[in-house]
């Protein structure tokens, strides 16, 4: 079974081969946004693959379109709902909370 390590919490979990990173995160109670429910219709489950990027399924055109909307995009960015696990990976969940911190000023 593939092992997934989530950073920055360093939470480790095992997942069935072929499961998505999002499913592995939710099963392990890792806090990760997923506003569209894992349907590749938003970019809230954006993650950065620190190790094991090449073991994941290729990025689809739909995923790339959604990634273009992600904050803090890198060359190893993926949507957790679209990454299917076959081997061990290390995944960083970007801190996006700070980008919304000033919204309280609009009350």
The pLDDT value recorded for residue 103 is 40
The pLDDT value recorded for residue 77 is 97
Tell me the pTM.
Answer: 0.86
The pLDDT value recorded for residue 22 is 97
Same-domain pairing of 67 and 37: yes
The pLDDT value recorded for residue 48 is 97
Summarised one tens digit per residue, pLDDT across range 15-47 is: 999 999 999 999 999 999 999 999 999 999 999
Same-domain pairing of 68 and 38: yes
User: 62: domain range?
Assistant: 33-78
The pLDDT value recorded for residue 35 is 94
Q: Is the dihedral of CA 21, 26, 29, 33 positive or negative?
A: positive
Evaluate whether residue 101 is within a structural domain. no
Summarised one tens digit per residue, pLDDT across range 85-107 is: 999 999 999 986 434 434 444 44
Q: What is the mean pLDDT of the chain?
A: 90
Same-domain pairing of 26 and 48: no
Evaluate whether residue 94 is within a structural domain. no
Summarised one tens digit per residue, pLDDT across range 43-65 is: 999 999 999 999 999 999 999 99
Total domains present in the chain: 2
- CATH number for 69: 3.10.20.30
């Amino acid at each position: 079974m593939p092992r997934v390590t989530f950073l920055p919490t360093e939470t480790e979990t095992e997942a069935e081969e072929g499961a998505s990173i999002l499913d592995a995160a939710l099963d392990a109670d890792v806090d990760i946004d997923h506003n569209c429910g894992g349907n590749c219709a938003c970019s809230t489950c954006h993650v950065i693959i620190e190790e094991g990027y090449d073991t994941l399924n290729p990025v689809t055109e739909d995923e790339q379109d959604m990634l273009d909307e992600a904050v803090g995009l890198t060359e190893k960015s993926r949507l957790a709902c679209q990454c299917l696990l076959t081997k061990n990976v290390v995944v960083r969940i970007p801190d996006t909370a700070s980008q919304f911190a000033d919204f309280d000023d609009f009350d």
